[in-house]
Amino acid sequence: MTPVAIKELKKLFESETDPEHKVIKVKSNPFTTPSPVAFIARVNAVIQSVLGDRYTSHSFRQGLITELGIKGINPKLIQTFIGHKNINTTMNYINPSEADIRNCLVR
């Protein structure tokens, strides 16, 4: 993730007294939690402003899972990290490109 993307995503969060406790701001009120739909819409807006209109939180998630799979991380670990109940769901997210497959075979 680029420094710009990290900076933009951090704007969605504001730390309270405990630096490990993060809350999502709603209209500058740290005590109001947005609905899941509103939160995802805000995250998608940030991702699209940094990466382009073709990207969403879901495509970002799929890209992350694919990247972990390409790097050879155990799919069961990826499943646990992502929170999928079924390993088949995790495996469906791993979609290497032809270049990824070629690079894997060349190593």
Q: Output the tens digit of pLDDT for each of the chain's 107 residues.
A: 567 766 766 666 554 445 554 555 556 565 666 778 888 888 888 888 888 899 898 888 899 999 999 988 999 999 998 899 999 999 999 999 999 888 888 86
Count Cα atoms within 13 angstroms, Cβ side, for 55. 17
Contact status, residue 69 vs residue 96, Cβ threshold 8 Å = yes
AA letter at 52: G
Rounded to whole angstroms, how far apart are CA atoms 45 and 8? 10
Contact status, residue 62 vs residue 93, Cβ threshold 8 Å = yes
pTM: 0.60
Closest to 93 (Cα-Cα) out of 54, 66, 68, 57: 66
